[in-house]
């Protein structure tokens, strides 16, 4: 008697069951000679999956799209989106498939999704493919964000396809398996609202409520409470980005999730010298998605979400608009609440002190004026708390202005009850030593694309514990050398 093999995943398909009209059933394009490049053991065990089975040839065939796992119902998801402010009514997964949903070991529903798995009905002019470099980039940046405790989609695996992908040059192809709380986007609501079926937005909102904001179902106005939940999740998310210097780079409405997870690691990068105008994306000429503009753009995107929900808020348009506007306006207070709390923690300040805001603003102004590395500065401040002010001082070309600020800051700290050791330790738990430094990421990806995965694996290991300073890893804590030049990142990878 043969024993049935344990299925790779126990898949459910609530999206497909509940949201007809928002997808096209589709199959991946077979990929020749797949090779597993990167596999996320920790995430696999969180999903309750058998890692060894996934890494074996039958598992890799699933991860690259050559085999459909039992229980999967693969679809390309439909969505619209405002891209750099211009509306596209039909984007959708041009090169990606939702395989289904897994209930993880904590009982959370997680999407399993392939990216780079071939053209779909939404591909428009695209080739449906992805290259090794950008998929490993998504992997390493997502893992870095996760370790920094910022909500994010994550990579389960990257599989090389031995396909050649035509970009500026020919590049080795790859498929990424992405895990997300869901792939519901602001653009999903925009797509639903732009279609003739008046019940579609409601079905989508009900699905999103059950999945991400179940408390909203109990509210007097569930759809307004749902909107409020999304506004709050995004305020918290973007505050998290700002506190570590993350620049998403392409905050189009199709790249903003309803869950509050970071999604779409295209042209994103971490800021080094503090400057709110920092932009890395080669196509962001106007600075729409500059570091300092991210909270504003999040609120702009949320206004687009509100527009799709107005008929659900109230049958009277004026009443609906007034209610939506109130919630939308609350974004600022929510954002400043999260950001202020995070900034005070970075400076070791207890919540609710009078002078805090001026201290925060003045330090940022100094970092900007003297082009100081954001991450390094916050990290070394714990040494100042312990009596060694030289490390922080050395980051400033004109230290006297910093000294004056540091005196005020130290005075504020000494008025608090906690002892310096406890303050310094708490600061080190929120100020990372290691972030994905642009030059390190590029080096690791270039090596990986040429067949050497060691620098990539080392970088992953460094970024998995960003708050623990480890001897020997000093180069990973340094900003790029001047020879690295101005950093440019790209969409449409």
Task: Mark out the alpha helices in 1-108 (DSSP H runs).
Answer: 14-18, 41-46, 51-55, 57-64
Tell whether residue 284 is a contact of ligand AMP (CB under 6 A): no
Asked if residues 423 and 416 have their Cβ atoms less than 8 Å apart, the reply is yes
The CB-of-79 to ligand AMP minimum distance in angstroms stands at: 7
Per CB under 6 A, the list member of 19, 91, 158, 200 interacting with ligand AMP is: 91
* CB of 82 or CB of 95, closer to ligand AMP: 95
How many other CB atoms sit within 10 Å of the CB of residue 267? Answer: 24
Q: Let me know: does 259 contact 212? Beta carbons within 8 Å.
A: yes
d(CA 428, CA 434) in angstroms, rounded, equals 11
**Is residue 93 at the binding interface for ligand AMP, with CB under 6 A as the rule?**
yes
Q: Determine the 3-state secondary structure of 286 from DSSP.
A: coil
> Which two tokens mark 321?
């608009």
x/- site string to Mg ion, residues 206 to 245, per CB under 5 A? ----------------------------------------
3-state secondary structure of 470: coil
How many CB atoms within 10 Å of residue 176?
Answer: 29
Least Cβ distance, residue 406 to ligand AMP (angstroms): 43
Closer by beta carbon to ligand AMP, 187 or else 389: 187
Query: Least distance from C-beta 190 to Mg ion, angstroms?
Result: 13
In the bound complex, what is the minimum distance in angstroms from residue 10's beta carbon to ligand AMP? Answer: 27
Q: How far apart are CA 351 and CA 340, in angstroms?
A: 9
Contact between 93 and Mg ion (CB under 5 A)? no
- The Cα 150–Cα 245 span in angstroms is 12
Residue placing its CB nearer to ligand AMP in the complex, 71 or 94 = 94
In whole angstroms, what is the distance from residue 18 CA to residue 204 CA?
A: 8
Dihedral of alpha carbons 216, 217, 221, 227, sign: positive
Among 152, 234, 255, 294, the residue binding Mg ion under the rule CB under 5 A is 255
Residue showing tokens 């309803």: 258
**Binding partner of 50, given Mg ion, ligand AMP, none, CB within 5-8 angstroms per partner class:** none
Binding residues among 279-308 for Mg ion as defined by CB under 5 A: none
CA dihedral 342, 348, 352, 354 (to 10 degrees): -120
Count residues binding ligand AMP (CB under 6 A).
18
In the complex, minimum distance from the CB of residue 184 to ligand AMP, in angstroms, rounded to a whole number: 15
DSSP symbol at 265: -
* Minimum CB distance to Mg ion smaller for 76 or for 360: 76
Q: Distance (Å, rounded) from C-alpha 289 to C-alpha 274? A: 16
Judged by CB under 5 A, which of 206, 264, 272, 373 binds Mg ion? Answer: 264
- The burial of 215, by beta-carbon neighbours within 10 Å (0-12 exposed, 13-18 middle, 19 or more buried), is given as exposed
Closest residue by Cα to residue 267 from 247, 285, 287, 293 = 247
User: Closest separation between CB of residue 150 and ligand AMP, Å?
Assistant: 19
**Which residues on adjacent β-strands are paired with residue 170?**
166
Catalytic residues: 254
Burial class (CB in 10 A: 0-12, 13-18, 19+), 329: exposed
Q: How far apart are CA 153 and CA 156, in angstroms?
A: 10
When CB distances are held under 5 to 8 angstroms depending on the partner's kind, the choice from Mg ion, ligand AMP, none that residue 248 binds is none
Q: Choosing among ligand AMP, Mg ion, none, which partner's interface includes residue 127 (Cβ < 5 to 8 Å by kind)? A: ligand AMP
| H helical segments located in 247-373 | 294-313, 317-346, 356-369
Q: How far is the CB of 438 from ligand AMP (least distance, A)?
A: 19
Q: Does 95 bind ligand AMP (CB under 6 A)?
A: yes
CB of 322 to ligand AMP, least distance (A): 33
DSSP state of 371: T
Residues numbered 241-280 forming contacts with ligand AMP, rule: CB under 6 A: 254-255, 264, 266
Residue 183 contact among ligand AMP, Mg ion, none, beta carbon within 5 to 8 Å by kind: none
Number of residues in contact with Mg ion under rule CB under 5 A? 2
Task: Candidates 88-96, 208-216, 284-292, 334-342: pick the segment binding ligand AMP (CB under 6 A).
Answer: 88-96
Q: Taking CB under 6 A as the criterion, which residues in 104-133 touch ligand AMP? A: 122-123, 126-129
Nearer to ligand AMP, 113 or 334 (CB): 113
Smaller CB distance to Mg ion: residue 238 or 360? Answer: 238
| Residue 173 found at the interface with ligand AMP (CB under 6 A) | no
Residues near Mg ion (CB under 5 A): 255, 264
Residues near ligand AMP (CB under 6 A): 91-96, 122-123, 126-129, 254-255, 264, 266, 491-492
């Amino acid at each position: 008697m043969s024993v049935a093999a344990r299925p790779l995943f126990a898949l459910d398909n609530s999206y497909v069951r509940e949201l007809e009209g928002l997808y096209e059933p589709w199959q991946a394009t077979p990929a020749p000679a797949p090779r597993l490049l990167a596999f996320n053991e920790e995430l696999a065990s969180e999903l309750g999956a058998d890692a060894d089975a996934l890494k074996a040839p039958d598992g890799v065939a699933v991860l690259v799209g050559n085999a459909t796992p039992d229980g999967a119902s693969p679809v390309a998801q439909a969505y619209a989106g405002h891209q750099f402010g211009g509306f596209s009514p039909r984007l959708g997964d041009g090169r990606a498939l939702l395989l289904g949903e897994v209930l993880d070991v904590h009982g959370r529903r997680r999407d399993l999704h392939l990216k780079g798995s071939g053209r779909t009905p939404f591909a428009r002019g695209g080739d449906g493919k992805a290259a090794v470099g950008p998929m490993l980039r998504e992997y390493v940046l997502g893992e870095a964000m996760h370790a920094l405790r910022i909500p994010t989609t994550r990579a389960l695996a990257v599989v090389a396809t031995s396909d050649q992908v035509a970009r500026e040059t020919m590049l080795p192809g790859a498929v990424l398996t992405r895990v997300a709380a869901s792939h519901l986007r602001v653009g999903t609501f925009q797509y639903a609202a732009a279609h003739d079926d008046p019940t579609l937005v409601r079905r989508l909102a009900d699905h999103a409520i059950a999945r991400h904001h179940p408390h909203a179902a109990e509210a007097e106005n569930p759809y307004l409470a749902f909107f409020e939940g999304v506004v709050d999740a995004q305020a918290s998310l973007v505050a998290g980005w700002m506190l570590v210097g993350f620049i998403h780079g392409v905050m189009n409405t199709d790249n903003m999730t309803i869950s509050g997870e970071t999604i779409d690691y295209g042209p994103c990068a971490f800021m080094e010298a503090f400057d709110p105008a920092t932009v890395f994306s080669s196509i962001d000429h106007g600075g729409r998605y500059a570091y300092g503009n991210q909270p504003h753009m999040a609120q702009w995107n949320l206004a687009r979400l509100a527009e799709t929900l107005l008929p659900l808020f109230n049958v009277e348009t004026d009443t609906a608009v007034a209610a939506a506007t109130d919630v939308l306006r609350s974004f600022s207070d929510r954002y400043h609440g999260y950001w202020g709390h995070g900034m005070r923690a970075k400076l070791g300040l207890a919540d609710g002190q009078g002078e805090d805001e001026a201290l925060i603003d003045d330090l940022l102004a100094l970092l900007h004026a003297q082009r100081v590395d954001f991450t390094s500065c916050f990290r070394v401040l714990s040494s100042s708390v312990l009596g060694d002010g030289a490390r922080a001082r050395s980051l400033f070309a004109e230290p006297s202005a910093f000294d004056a600020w540091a005196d005020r800051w130290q005075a504020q700290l000494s008025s608090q009850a906690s002892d310096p050791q406890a303050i310094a330790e708490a600061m080190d738990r929120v100020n990372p030593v290691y972030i994905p430094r642009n030059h390190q990421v590029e080096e690791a990806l270039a090596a990986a694309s040429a067949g050497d995965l060691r620098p990539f694996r080392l970088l992953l290991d460094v970024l998995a514990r960003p708050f623990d300073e480890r001897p020997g890893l000093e180069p990973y804590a340094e900003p790029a050398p001047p020879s690295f030049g101005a950093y440019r990142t790209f969409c449409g990878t």
